[in-house]
Amino acid sequence: MLRKTLGLRFGDLDGEFETPADLNTRMIGDEAPLGSCVERTVPKCVALFVVGAVMLLEGCASHRDAAPPAGPATEFSLVPGQTVVGAVGVYVTRDDDTLLDIARRYDLGYTQLVAANPGIDPWLPGAGRRIALPSQYLLPEGPRRGIVINLVQQRLFYFPPDGRTVETYPIGVAVQGSSTPLGTTHVVAKQVHPTWYPPPSIRKEQPDLPQRVPPGPDNPLGDYALVLGWAGYLIHGTNKPDGVGRNSSHGCLRLYPEDIERLFKEVPVSTPVRVVNEEVQAAWIGTELYVAIYPNKDQAEQIDNNKPITSAVPPGLKRRLAAEAGRDRLDRVDWRAAEKAGRERAGIPTRVTVPVFASAEGAQ
Mean per-residue pLDDT of the chain: 81
Asked if residue 110 lies in contact with residue 42, where contact means CB atoms within 8 angstroms, the answer is: no
Full-prediction pTM beyond 0.85? no
Rounded CA separation 28/175 (Å)? 29
Under a CB-based contact definition with an 8 Å cutoff, are residues 29 and 190 in contact?
A: yes
Architecture per CATH, 16-28+30-276: Beta Barrel (2.40)
Tell me whether strands 74-77 and 165-170 are parallel, antiparallel or unpaired: antiparallel
* 3-state secondary structure (DSSP) of residue 304: helix
Helix axes 335-344, 317-329, angle to 10 degrees: 150
Residue 37: what pLDDT?
Answer: 57
250 labelled catalytic = no
| Most confident region among 20-34, 68-82, 321-335 by mean pLDDT | 321-335
User: What's CA 353's distance to the chain center, in Å?
Assistant: 26
Neighbours of 192 (CB within 10 A): 12
Mean pLDDT of 40-65: 32
Question: Looking at residue 364, what is its pLDDT?
Answer: 52
Q: pLDDT confidence of 324, banded at 50, 70, 90?
A: very high
Distances (CA, A) of 350 to 135, 208, 272, 326, 331: 13, 48, 30, 19, 18
- Of 37, 63, 250, 252, the active-site residue reads 252
For residues 173 and 180, the answer to whether their CB atoms sit within 8 Å is yes
Residue 98 has a pLDDT of 94
- pLDDT score of 152 more than 60: yes
For range 59-84, the mean pLDDT? 60
DSSP 353: B
Tell how far CA 43 is from the center of its chain. Answer: 19
Q: How many Cβ atoms from other residues are within 10 Å of residue 296's Cβ?
A: 17
How far is the first Cα of the chain from the last one, in angstroms, to the nearest whole number? Answer: 59
Cα 141 to Cα 148: distance, rounded to the nearest angstrom: 9
3-state class (DSSP) for residue 243: helix
> Cα(255)–Cα(238) distance, rounded to whole angstroms?
7
Q: Which of 45, 193, 236, 250 is catalytic?
A: 236
Hey, where are the domains in the chain? 16-28+30-276, 280-358
Contact residues for 305 (Cβ-Cβ < 8 A; gap 6+): 43
Q: Are 130 and 62 in contact (CB under 8 A)?
A: no
**pLDDT of res. 13:** 28
Instruction: Tell me how far apart the alpha carbons of residues 136 and 83 are, in angstroms, rounded to a whole number.
Output: 11
How is the chain split among helix, strand and coil, in percent rounded to 5?
A: 20, 25, 55
pLDDT at 84 over 70: yes
45 tagged catalytic = no
Q: Is 363 helix (H, G, I), strand (E, B) or coil?
A: helix
Q: In what order do the strands lie in the sheet with 350-351?
A: 280-285, 288-293, 350-351
Between 213 and 39, the higher pLDDT residue: 213
